[in-house]
């Protein structure tokens, strides 16, 4: 009888631990979803024509890294390099925004899929590029790492 009771207590304790862990993961994912929403909102508000690269850089942790997963664009490490990269957007585009198609949240990581769209500054031609961001957030909601997958070939084709 005592063995059965002890077994029931162990099972109940184990289930309590599992439920607690699952609740923590759900709460963490909810905050990651909020961080992602804020990230995209600030990113869009800071793109040309507004062009506020400092606001964009401040979405990242001090030692954050942005990796571009296509040839020709070097990675940026740290807020200053990230800011300098986004500073050039006003030279490239007269307007620019990100339109969401889907998102996936797991813990402190997020995958955002959508399009970047706007107008090329030199030609005025409209551009619409598929893009995927993979972001890892810290506990304060700052991006620690961002990987960007973009179809740059479609940009060349649209500008012809």
Contact residues for 112 (Cβ-Cβ < 8 A; gap 6+): 36, 40, 100, 102, 103, 132, 133, 135
Tens digit of pLDDT for each residue in 131-148?
999 999 999 999 999 999
Q: Does the structure show a pLDDT above 80 at 104?
A: yes
- Domains along the chain with CATH numbers: 2-159 (3.10.450.50)
Three-class secondary structure of residue 96 per DSSP: strand
Taking the model in full, what pTM does it have? 0.79
pLDDT band at residue 11 using 50, 70 and 90 as cut-offs: very low
Three-class secondary structure of residue 120 per DSSP: strand
C-alpha to C-alpha distances, 69 to 74, 133, 134, 151, nearest whole angstrom: 9, 10, 11, 10
CA atoms of 87 and 32, how far apart (whole Å):
27
Tens digit of pLDDT for each residue in 55-65?
999 999 999 99
Q: Does the structure show a pLDDT above 90 at 157?
A: no
CA atoms of 126 and 94, how far apart (whole Å):
10
């Amino acid at each position: 009888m005592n063995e059965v009771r002890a077994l029931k207590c162990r099972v109940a304790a184990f289930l309590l631990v599992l439920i607690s862990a699952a609740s923590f993961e759900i709460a963490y994912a909810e905050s990651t979803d909020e961080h992602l929403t804020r990230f995209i909102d600030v990113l869009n508000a800071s793109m040309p024509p507004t062009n506020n690269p400092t606001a964009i850089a401040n979405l990242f942790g001090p030692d954050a890294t942005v990796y571009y997963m296509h040839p020709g664009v070097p990675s940026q490490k740290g807020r200053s390099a990230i800011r300098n990269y986004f500073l050039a957007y006003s030279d490239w585009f007269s307007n620019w925004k990100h339109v969401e198609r889907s998102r996936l949240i797991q813990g402190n990581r997020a995958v955002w899929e959508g399009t970047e769209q706007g107008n090329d500054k030199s030609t005025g031609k409209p551009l619409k590029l598929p893009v995927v961001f993979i972001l890892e957030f810290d506990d304060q909601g700052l991006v620690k790492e961002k990987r960007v997958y973009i179809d740059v070939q479609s940009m060349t084709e649209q500008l012809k």
